[in-house]
Amino acid sequence: MPTQLTPTATQYRSIPANGIDIHYLEAGHGEPLVLLHGGMVSTNPIWAPTPVSYSAHMEHLAERFRVIAPDTRGCARTRHSRGTVTFYLLADDVLALIDALGLDRPLIAGFSEGAITATIVGLRSPDSVRAIVNDAGYDFFNPQAPSFTIMRQILGGSPHATEADPDAAAAGFAQSPEMQAMFELMRADQDGAQGEGYWREYLRNAFHRTTRSPGYTFEDLGEIATPTLILVGDCDRFCTAEEAVTAYRALKHGELAVLPGTGHIITPAAIASTINFLERHV
């Protein structure tokens, strides 16, 4: 059984689930919260200075919940042997992790790619989680979302790319100091966990699932019986406020929070909204 941790303590663990060893960070106590990171990042603390990671907010979340934050399949310390890493597979990994840890309907929250996975968990197994927070990850439920073209450009070097081009991606990141810094962190994170040059394989795995519809649409969100918060910034270039309203209206038990002056990032206000919502559904 996992040991009880103080709110500020963190511990890295791993457990066999769904045919792989899932590595995860655990911190805090109380109601379990499965926390899913976004694309390009992981649970590695090196991401704490960036606004696209939960790392800087772990202590705050751990004061209220028992946080279980896995590295997703093929990312950082959680390895993937072969085949395509789809959102269906990532959701099944989360469900297997919940089962392996003996969690009774935990809370679940995710940002960006992690939010997509969290929502698909709610679609694939409606009784497995108690409440869902989708922070800036509902765009993929629009089959015509601009996000797919943006990701083909980022990971494939062209809006019409059909496969990843790691060298083109690296060149694209180098066009701005901010993106270059993120690329360097990603490379250090992935290569440090799985070996020199692994960052290329990570981008190849990410390309397939982030450049096409996961197979669910906004209409399918009506099948989610679990209370779900749609959370987004009004300056998010991936997830529009208009799409947020569409996603919210499709839900049976939905809530909507739009944060002013906020882009595709995790802010203290987003964490406060997440905590407020989750504490009302424990």
DSSP readout, the chain?
A: -PPP--TT-EEEEEEEETTEEEEEEEE--SSEEEEE--TT--S-GGGTTSTT-SGGGHHHHHTTSEEEEEPPTTBTTB---SS---HHHHHHHHHHHHHHTT-SS-EEEEETHHHHHHHHHHHH-TTS-SEEEEES--GGGSTT-HHHHHHHHHHHSSTT-SS--HHHHHHHHTTSHHHHHHHHHHHHHHHHHH-TTHHHHHHHHHHHHHSS--S--GGGGGG--S-EEEEEETT-SSS-HHHHHHHHHH-SSEEEEEETT--SS--HHHHHHHHHHHHTT-
CA distances from 111 to 17, 139, 160, 221 (A): 22, 12, 26, 17
How confident is the model over 107-133, as pLDDT tens digits? 999 999 999 999 999 999 989 999 999
Counting residues of the chain whose pLDDT is more than 90, the rounded percentage is 94
For residue 3, pLDDT beyond 60: no
Task: Please report which confidence band the pLDDT of residue 7 belongs to, taking 50, 70 and 90 as the band edges.
Answer: very low
Q: Does domain 10-144+215-279 have CATH number 1.10.10.60?
A: no
- If we measure between CA atoms, which residue out of 131, 239, 243, 151 comes closest to residue 203? 151
pLDDT on residue 25? 97
Counting residues of the chain whose pLDDT is more than 70, the rounded percentage is 97
pLDDT on residue 5? 38
Other CB atoms within 10 A of residue 67 CB: 30
pTM listed for this prediction:
0.95
Every domain range in the chain assigned CATH 3.40.50.1820: 10-144+215-279
How confident is the model over 44-97, as pLDDT tens digits? 999 999 999 999 999 999 999 999 999 999 999 999 988 999 999 999 999 999
Task: Please report which confidence band the pLDDT of residue 9 belongs to, taking 50, 70 and 90 as the band edges.
Answer: low
pLDDT on residue 81? 82
pLDDT averaged over the chain? Answer: 95
Bridge partner residues of 135 (DSSP): 111, 231
Burial class from Cβ neighbours inside 10 Å (0-12, 13-18, 19+) for residue 41 reads buried
Name residue, tokens 């450049």: 211
Q: State mean pLDDT over 241-255.
A: 97
At 40, the amino acid letter reads: M
Q: State mean pLDDT over 203-229.
A: 96
